[in-house]
Structure 1
Amino acid sequence: MASANLFHFFAAILSILFPTAFTATVVEDLNNLKPPPDFNSTITKNCRTNPSIRYCNSTPFDLHEIFKSTIVASHLCNVSNNPNCVESFPKIDLHGQPKIAPLYLSFTFFWKYCPLTVLSIDLSNNSLKSNFPTDIFHCSQIQGLDLSHNNLSGDVPVQNFTLLENLTFLNLSYNDFSESKISETHFFERFNSSSFIHSGVLPNHKEFKIKAVLLLVGFPVFVIVMVVFWGWLCFTHRKVHKFTPAVIKAATDGFSKQNLVGKTGQISIYKGVLKDGSEVKIEICFNNITRENRKRFVEQSKVVVQLHHKNIAPVLGWCYSSRFRATVTKWIDGESVETWLSTSNPPWKQRVKVILGIAAGICYLHEEWPEVGYNLKTKDILLSENVEPLITRFKLDDNHSSLKKMYKFGVFILEIVTTRRAVEELEKDDTSFLEWVKLHYPENLENVIDERMKKNADIVSHAVEVVKFGLMCTDLSNSRQPSWDTIYAVLSNISSTAGISSSTDHRKSSTDRGRVHKHVHHI
């Protein structure tokens, strides 16, 4: 090519003018040699003759850089064993020369003015440690490029290969490039797979298969392990139930008066909010308790948190410190049965529903947790929004026999029917209340039925039967008090005659205790 001849003719002139220049090192040449006085006119003449020469596109001319590029070109031509460095410069061959290859790659000015005659670049087997040498793309006329057997890394600038229109041979094998994320497949269709062997550009099929197997097998195993772990974590959390004093204090906003919703004796009742946003009722007793009482409190708490029934208020946990002990239950938006009876004058069906709900909760406790005692005072029984009664107060009560528990239930039944205690609050104890009911037994029992309640003959008849049943439950003699099986049958019959559908409840009890679940009719 004419331009190449001019370029190398100029390089030959330099070698004549400076005969010792090319016997020294490249760096010494670059530092010691200066452009000749007519250098500017020479390259101007060259560009006038052949404008395609690369340095012709940079005006004004950087004479020093152009001059240095001619020195490097002369060195490279000789190092690459080209046959005639004056007439042609067809290849840059630095194969297997790791000491000088990085040096020539660092000469950016040379690649900027890359001779047009260079058709092949071989930088293979040099242990080069860098990113892809992008300066090579200035040699846009090349037909072959070999960068194999190096330690090149990072991304391959695939888009820049469009500049190398004449490139037919490419070898990037045995490098550490990043796996290509190219959507266009034209680049890989342009060169065969041998161009990328162990280059990192394409996925290694063997490694890909291993990764695929690990993914297909490992991922499901990972999911199963995580499910088991979170299940265990949730189960453990559910079984621990112990709150710290800091959590209780935070939930009640520092035991603020705004959160204090009630007080019974030594028990202060707060409405609180836990970290997860759930609303709770926190009953706190602020006093110092003995070690024995604390132990009993914890034992009781560990039992009541395991009670699971629709008619039992869920107990979430407990807390104790040197200053207080607390029981945490789920917050129930609803009024007490006492308030409900005295203010709303509920109809007969709703009263029966409340009796049946409490009976179902008691039967669950009797069968599953006989050691648990309960409070059936109407002021301590809460009603949910759908008039579902909830037993809220418990204690481990081994001294209370089944007869005494049934007695409490009988008193509760009579209070629901009569509303006497809730309205008048005249009775000092159960005895006076029961004597008042018995005073009308058996002929005038309809006189003890709440007079505010709308009733007809059928309702009066049913109510009288319920009162008789309640009196039977309060009889502490073994011969008169019904069995729990009788209670099931009687209350089921009451629900039927009152027009309340009964259902079967699969009661939930603690699996830790190894008890067998039984069916209880929701009477």
Structure 2
Amino acid sequence: MASISGTFIILFFTISASVSATLSASVIDDLRSLKPPQDFNSTIMKNCLHNPSLRYCSTSSPMDLDEIFKSTIVASHLCNESKNPNCVESFPKVDLRSRPNIAPLYLSFNFFWKYCPISIVSIDLSNTSLKSNFPVDVLHCTQIQSLDMSHNELYGDVPIENFSALSNLSVLNLSYNHFSESRISDTLFFKKFNSSSFFHSGLIPDHKKFKIKAIVLLVGFPIFVILKVCCLGWLCFRRPDFLPKMFQRKNRFTPAMLKAATNGFSRNNLMGKSASVDIYRGTMRNGTDVRIEVYSSDCHPKVIEECKILVQLCHKNLVNLLGWCDNRSLRAVVTEWLEGENLERWLLGSNFTSWNYRLRILMGVVEGMCYLQEQWPGVGYDLRTSSIMLSNYNLEPKISRFKVGNQSSNSRRMYKFGVFLLEMMVNRRPQEEFERGEAGFIEYIRMHYPGNLEQLIDQKMELTQNTFDQAKQAICLGLMCTDVSSNRQPSLEQVFDIVSRTYQSSRVLASHHNHYHRRFQRGKGHRRVQSR
């Protein structure tokens, strides 16, 4: 059996003899089955008296006899595994090179390295496929002169401060590992060794790799910058919607953006078509549904100039214009998409369109007209039932057609409003149903007003006495607005006052009706309960 120290082998002769019969057993079996002999404690004391430099003698903590005994067992096996010529007399080296199956096992016996025999002067753990951080326990053998841990897969930092105690170390080989790069040139300890000790270890920079990195950096960085600039240029000019909002050009759309929003202007997205404009439904990258009006190539550039003014309009009763596209290949206007239909289709298609609904729509249209007159007097609008869009959600009306620089007089605007109001009340199409158009339409109404209003007013409204009187006043207001030959034509402010008062009184009547209806229903229920 091997001793703890080759120099002082005689001190452990008793221990060696006690376990010599078990050399053929594995180290794990021996550690599990063998126990310290009865005189082991006295033997340890004698060893320390003869040689106080032994590691277990110099420890400040109480001796762990079990650990010391186990270290002698591991020493016996490791001495044989390292092919030392005579383990009873000498244990000069630990040699486990090219033995990946057992090297990790012996490195795990930290108690052995803690009491490392002072006779060991060489440790060779090269080419053992170690995959771990640097095995610091090995450095407990401070007397060693040679340490080889090359050709492994060790990684992390090398504990340079622990090497300072290895004053006898003259041969060191850490090459072919994956350690973290370290400034070994600044460490006096490492100056004792040449660069071959750290070849391909990761501890020192590889000059060839450094040159390659420098070349890649010098060539690659300019290429990267050029590609980055090209990419940003592409985004700015073709798809600015991919840029942060602060870098996007407000109200400006590119052909690529509109093409992506409409799936390449597919037929499925085509909602309408005429000689000069195609209307598409699209979804922008941020999820906004839009209406895209694509104009023909001979479209007058004034359309785009008008858009630059119209995008500034902001009112709940005006269709919100989001922007435009002014490109050689594409000229388009982008507005919000409204889920609904225009007022003309609503009047024709609905089976029941009450007076209260029409009055609320009329109120919204008048509010939009007042906003334009007060805030944007230079912006005209096409006021007809086909140009008023209705929201599916609450029938909120929105004026959808505008004309910048319109110089129509207030009298002309009131006339158009009068025709619009009369069209809402009687639900007839002036241009389609009358030979003389609007003039014939107005003449037709004057013939029946006020004596034959029952035939004149749209039957879908089903008017009560109160609402009939209000509808009569509305027709009267419409006729006054269309009377341009006299001084009876009201101003927009007067129209707003009349419509708003009628609208408020209509809401009060509706509220009283609902209150009475609920009381009536509760009374019926109460009487039913009493009758039982």
Q: Same fold (TM over 0.5)?
A: yes
* 2:115 equivalent in structure 1: 116
| Whole-Å separation in 2 of the counterparts to 1:420 and 1:269 | 27
| Whole-Å separation in 1 of the counterparts to 2:114 and 2:329 | 91
Query: CA 1:383/1:118 → structure 2, altered by over 3 Å: closer, same or farther?
Result: same
On the 8 A contact 1:72/1:110 being kept in 2, the answer is no
On the 8 A contact 1:271/1:279 being kept in 2, the answer is yes
* 1:338 equivalent in structure 2: 344
1:257 pairs with one of 246, 253, 267: 267
| Whole-Å separation in 1 of the counterparts to 2:282 and 2:78 | 79
Query: CA 1:424/1:65 → structure 2, altered by over 3 Å: closer, same or farther?
Result: farther
Q: How far 1:8 moved relative to its partner?
A: 2.0
| Whole-Å separation in 2 of the counterparts to 1:477 and 1:8 | 134
Query: CA 1:137/1:359 → structure 2, altered by over 3 Å: closer, same or farther?
Result: farther
* 2:136 equivalent in structure 1: 135
Q: How far 1:397 moved relative to its partner?
A: 3.1
SS in structure 1 of the partner of residue 6 of structure 2: helix
SS in structure 2 of the partner of residue 317 of structure 1: strand
Query: CA 1:273/1:60 → structure 2, altered by over 3 Å: closer, same or farther?
Result: same
RMSD over aligned Cα atoms: 4.3
* 1:304 equivalent in structure 2: 310
SS in structure 2 of the partner of residue 310 of structure 1: coil
* 1:62 equivalent in structure 2: 82
Matched residue type, 2:78:
S
| Whole-Å separation in 2 of the counterparts to 1:65 and 1:114 | 21
| Whole-Å separation in 1 of the counterparts to 2:71 and 2:364 | 100
| 1:431 paired to 2:431 | no
* 1:94 equivalent in structure 2: none
2:71 pairs with one of 42, 46, 52: 52
1:356 pairs with one of 349, 352, 363: 363
In the TM superposition, what whole-angstrom CA distance separates every residue of 1:300-323 from its partner, at most 9, and x where no partner exists?
112222222221222221113334
In the TM superposition, what whole-angstrom CA distance separates every residue of 1:14-67 from its partner, at most 9, and x where no partner exists?
xxxxxxxxxxxxxxxxxxxxxxxxxxx999769749763242243853225998
Q: How far 1:469 moved relative to its partner?
A: 1.0
In the TM superposition, what whole-angstrom CA distance separates every residue of 1:264-302 from its partner, at most 9, and x where no partner exists?
44222122222233322111222224xxx31x2222112
In the TM superposition, what whole-angstrom CA distance separates every residue of 1:461-480 from its partner, at most 9, and x where no partner exists?
11111111112222336833
- State how 1:481-492 maps to structure 2 within 5 Å: 481-492=489-500
2:288 pairs with one of 257, 266, 278: 278
Q: How far 1:338 moved relative to its partner?
A: 0.8
SS in structure 1 of the partner of residue 81 of structure 2: coil
- State how 1:167-316 maps to structure 2 within 5 Å: 234=245, 237=248, 240-289=250-299, 293-294=300-301, 296-316=302-322
| Whole-Å separation in 1 of the counterparts to 2:286 and 2:298 | 30
1:378 pairs with one of 376, 385, 391: 385
In the TM superposition, what whole-angstrom CA distance separates every residue of 1:99-156 from its partner, at most 9, and x where no partner exists?
xxxxxxxxx999996472789xxxxxxxxxxx97533267499xxxxxxxxxxx9579
Q: How far 1:384 moved relative to its partner?
A: 0.8
* 1:319 equivalent in structure 2: 325
In the TM superposition, what whole-angstrom CA distance separates every residue of 1:418-475 from its partner, at most 9, and x where no partner exists?
1111796335532222222223345545543113431233222111111111122223
Matched residue type, 1:325:
R
On the 8 A contact 2:6/2:117 being kept in 1, the answer is no
| Whole-Å separation in 2 of the counterparts to 1:111 and 1:307 | 82
| Whole-Å separation in 2 of the counterparts to 1:423 and 1:448 | 18
* 2:474 equivalent in structure 1: 466
SS in structure 2 of the partner of residue 246 of structure 1: helix
| Whole-Å separation in 1 of the counterparts to 2:320 and 2:10 | 96
Matched residue type, 1:315:
L
Query: CA 1:140/1:425 → structure 2, altered by over 3 Å: closer, same or farther?
Result: farther
Q: How far 1:359 moved relative to its partner?
A: 0.8
Taking every aligned residue pair, what percent have the same amino acid on both sides? 36
Matched residue type, 1:116:
Y
- State how 1:22-41 maps to structure 2 within 5 Å: none
On the 8 A contact 2:251/2:324 being kept in 1, the answer is yes
* 2:149 equivalent in structure 1: none
1:387 pairs with one of 373, 395, 410: 395
* 1:150 equivalent in structure 2: none
Q: TM-score, normalised by structure 1?
A: 0.55
Query: CA 1:267/1:427 → structure 2, altered by over 3 Å: closer, same or farther?
Result: farther
1:405 pairs with one of 388, 394, 413: 413
Q: How far 1:357 moved relative to its partner?
A: 1.1
Q: How far 1:412 moved relative to its partner?
A: 1.0
Matched residue type, 1:494:
T
| Whole-Å separation in 1 of the counterparts to 2:378 and 2:434 | 32
Q: TM-score, normalised by structure 2?
A: 0.54
Matched residues, number: 338
